[in-house]
Chain A
Amino acid sequence: MSTAEVIAETRGPVAGRRRLRTLRRSLRYGRVRVGVVLLGLVVLVALIGPLVAPHDPDAVIGLPASAPSGQFPLGTDYLGHDVLSRVLWGGRSVLWMAFSAATLGVALGAAVGLLAAYAGSIADDLLMRGMDVILAFPQIVFVLLFVSLLGPKLGLIVVLVAVAWVPQVARVVRGITSDVVQREYVESAELIGLSRWRILTREVLPNVTTPLMVEYGLRLTWSIALIAAISFLGFGIQPPNADWGLMINENRNILTLQPWPILAPAVCIGVFAIATNLIAEGIGRAIAGVDREGAVR
């Protein structure tokens, strides 16, 4: 029986099956499932946290640096706030900033990458040199450079982090696009006479979006790390607001007395980053798996 016949027998007409084929495949990996669960937990804490926090996170209601007790399950911080409440409130800024920065960075980077791959060689060179210039700065230094003058504005930080990712994403997208554009199935579409735009959207983009998912996951992980670091250095969201990175910074002096105001947010940040990394990894493996399965035939 030929492969074709085998397939014909085991498969019926399916419409939506084709979408998200890779995503579904990636869910087969245990690590992806763990990642999804962890991510869900973190997002839950960050979003729902404020609704269930026992106390006002900005209210000084206890003795500073006191150990966990019935009233304050994680104790109090260096000023006397309830640590648990601050932790429950402290996820929102990292969450929205990291997702926004990653989304913006990937979108911009993809646009630049596609443009560089399609435009003539001069435009390509110019764009890539420009990318090199941005790439020369360590990301955190890049952000601090502008913050030094304009102050710690959250929107600015999101944009700066996004711009910091653009060169890497652009490079990846440009590489994939240049490769795809040479393939015979794109030539086949040209031979039929499809417009450039249709070829781009119909033939090229679907082959770019799948690896781009992996990039997105990686950028998200790094955004979390970078934004948390910026808050930790004191250039992110300002006191008295509750923020995980900021909490770690604020409570450094009482580390030996009361580790919880540092441990709890650190764990939250860590779990968040690990979760996105596991998912990105899993998707990457699923993509590689598709290639391998095809080759086995």
Chain B
Amino acid sequence: MVLWILRRALLSLLVLFGVSVLIFLATQALPGDPAVQILGHTATPEQLTELRKQLGLDQSLVDQYVTWLGNVLTGSLGNSLTSPQSVSSLLIDRGLASLALVGASALIAIPLAVLLGSLGAMRRDRPSDHATQGIFLVLTALPEFVIGLGLLILLGTTVFTVLPPVALIPSGGAAFTHPRELALPVMTLVLAVVPYLTRLQRAAMIDVLESDYVQMARLKGLPERTVVRRHALRNSLVPVVQGSALTLIYLTGGIVAIEYLFAYPGLGSALTTAVAGRDLPVVQAIVLLLASVYVVVNLVADLLTVLLVPRLRTRRG
């Protein structure tokens, strides 16, 4: 099994490597002169040459990549082109804020979805189940910013003015101490994620509840509590792990539009600002960070799956 872990880790590294190459190519190797794109056509040739040197555009592609990668790995990510901060401090500040957002959303959404999904499976085909399924079908389709808008109108502005419509808080750790500002973005993300995850959990739970071993457990005379807890829930944990991984990944994408909508000072809004301002070092750094989240989350999910499924880690005796 150790061999398997090593192999998986190696694969993840490979994917990360591919990701870094892709980011590098996208920002530094595309047709069109980045220097011109950034400084505009009114820049003098000297300014352009200077910027090119600063961005390392005068070297060969491979050299550039190596230099760039080296910088990334050692943490010297350069400075933002449009704001006075260094890229690393920007990442940390905004990263913490986004972490608070994603963390809070996941902590609420995942247990909620597991609960709703399991209940839905146990009460399937009853009117309450049909109704919830219908509502969720509608919610999954909506873009998350539309959900956010709905909540904004409902709770932030027009209908009830309960929560602040704009999260004007300083970035960094401040997010952890301003729960009211977090409320609307978190609620939006939770509403965006819960329907999909609930449906996954419900389907997995139904599979388990209709399995032969659950029927056998009932025929042995086990109390329903034990059947659900020891036999059903235990075996539906694997889909929960997979679903949680999916949720976290989805959330890292969802924060882009949501942070913009609520003016929340996180990585997502930093990315949109950077893209609008052609702030390449910031764009590269944030994208790399977000893509790495995917790789790490998947690795952890696979590890947990192997731990949970005895069949995958033992051989036929």
Indicate yes or no for A touching B, C-beta below 8 A.
Answer: yes
Cβ of A277 and Cβ of B253 under 8 Å apart? no
- With contacts A233-B260, A266-B146, A269-B143 taken as known, whether A149 is within 8 angstroms of B137 at the C-beta atoms is no
Note all chain A residues with C-beta closer than 8 A to B290.
Answer: 137-138, 141
Note all chain A residues with C-beta closer than 8 A to B256.
Answer: 138, 140-141, 144, 229, 233
In the complex, per-residue mask of A158-181: 1 if CB is within 8 Å of any chain B CB, else 0:
000000000000000000000000
Cβ of A148 and Cβ of B280 under 8 Å apart? yes
| Interface flag for A77 (CB, 8 Å) | no
Cβ of B18 and Cβ of A132 under 8 Å apart? yes
- Given A149-B280, A229-B145, A262-B153, 16 other A-B contacts at CB below 8 A? A31-B137, A129-B15, A135-B294, A136-B16, A136-B295, A138-B253, A141-B290, A145-B287, A146-B26, A149-B32, A229-B256, A248-B145, A255-B157, A270-B146, A273-B141, A273-B142
- With contacts A233-B256, A233-B260 taken as known, whether A137 is within 8 angstroms of B19 at the C-beta atoms is yes
A–B pairs, 10, beta carbons within 8 Å? A132-B15, A144-B256, A144-B272, A144-B287, A149-B26, A224-B143, A233-B257, A255-B165, A270-B141, A277-B141
Cβ of B145 and Cβ of A262 under 8 Å apart? no
Note all chain A residues with C-beta closer than 8 A to B141.
Answer: 221, 225, 270, 273-274, 276-278
Cβ of B32 and Cβ of A148 under 8 Å apart? no
Cβ of A228 and Cβ of B15 under 8 Å apart? no
Complex Cα distance A130/B145, Å?
A: 30
A146, closest chain B residue (CB): B26
| Interface flag for B99 (CB, 8 Å) | no
Note all chain B residues with C-beta closer than 8 A to A133.
Answer: 15, 18-19, 22
* CB interface residues, B 241-288, toward A, < 8 Å: 249-250, 252-254, 256-257, 260-261, 271-272, 274-276, 278, 280, 283, 286-287
Chain A nearest Cβ from B14, distance in angstroms:
6
In the complex, per-residue mask of A186-219: 1 if CB is within 8 Å of any chain B CB, else 0:
0000000000000000000000000000000000
Note all chain B residues with C-beta closer than 8 A to A225.
Answer: 141-144
Cβ of B145 and Cβ of A232 under 8 Å apart? yes
| Interface flag for A150 (CB, 8 Å) | yes
Note all chain B residues with C-beta closer than 8 A to A221.
Answer: 141
B156, closest chain A residue (CB): A255
Chain A nearest Cβ from B312, distance in angstroms:
19
Note all chain A residues with C-beta closer than 8 A to B32.
Answer: 149-150
Complex Cα distance A226/B287, Å?
A: 17
Complex Cα distance A17/B253, Å?
A: 44
B31, closest chain A residue (CB): A150
In the complex, per-residue mask of A229-264: 1 if CB is within 8 Å of any chain B CB, else 0:
100111100000000000010000001100100110
Chain A nearest Cβ from B275, distance in angstroms:
4
Cβ of A148 and Cβ of B274 under 8 Å apart? yes
Note all chain A residues with C-beta closer than 8 A to B60.
Answer: none
Q: How many A-B residue pairs have CB under 8 A?
A: 143
**9 tightest A-B contacts by CB?**
A138-B253, A133-B18, A277-B141, A225-B143, A148-B275, A273-B141, A136-B291, A136-B294, A274-B141
Complex Cα distance A274/B138, Å?
A: 6
| Interface flag for B1 (CB, 8 Å) | no
Note all chain A residues with C-beta closer than 8 A to B294.
Answer: 135-138
What is B's interface to A at a CB cutoff of 8 Å?
11, 14-16, 18-19, 22-23, 26-27, 30, 32, 34, 37, 134, 137-138, 140-146, 149-150, 152-153, 157-158, 165, 249-250, 252-254, 256-257, 260-261, 271-272, 274-276, 278, 280, 283, 286-287, 290-292, 294-295
Complex Cα distance A248/B153, Å?
A: 13
Main secondary structure of the interface of B (DSSP, over half): helix
- With contacts A31-B137, A141-B271 taken as known, whether A136 is within 8 angstroms of B15 at the C-beta atoms is yes
| Interface flag for A82 (CB, 8 Å) | no
Contact of A136 among B19, B37, B260 (CB under 8 A): B19
Note all chain A residues with C-beta closer than 8 A to B283.
Answer: 144-145, 148
| Interface flag for A103 (CB, 8 Å) | no
Complex Cα distance A224/B249, Å?
A: 20
Cβ of A262 and Cβ of B275 under 8 Å apart? no
Contact of A233 among B11, B153, B250, B272 (CB under 8 A): B272
Cβ of A228 and Cβ of B143 under 8 Å apart? yes
Cβ of A138 and Cβ of B143 under 8 Å apart? no
Note all chain A residues with C-beta closer than 8 A to B260.
Answer: 232-233
Note all chain A residues with C-beta closer than 8 A to B143.
Answer: 224-226, 228-229, 269-270, 273
Cβ of A248 and Cβ of B149 under 8 Å apart? yes
Note all chain B residues with C-beta closer than 8 A to A140.
Answer: 253, 256-257
Cβ of A270 and Cβ of B257 under 8 Å apart? no
Contact of A232 among B23, B257, B275, B287 (CB under 8 A): B257
Cβ of A149 and Cβ of B37 under 8 Å apart? yes
Cβ of B252 and Cβ of A138 under 8 Å apart? yes
Chain B nearest Cβ from A142, distance in angstroms:
8
Cβ of B145 and Cβ of A277 under 8 Å apart? no
B12, closest chain A residue (CB): A132
Complex Cα distance A278/B291, Å?
A: 31
In the complex, per-residue mask of A113-142: 1 if CB is within 8 Å of any chain B CB, else 0:
000000000000000011011111111110
Contact of A148 among B27, B157, B257 (CB under 8 A): B27
| Interface flag for A147 (CB, 8 Å) | yes
B157, closest chain A residue (CB): A256
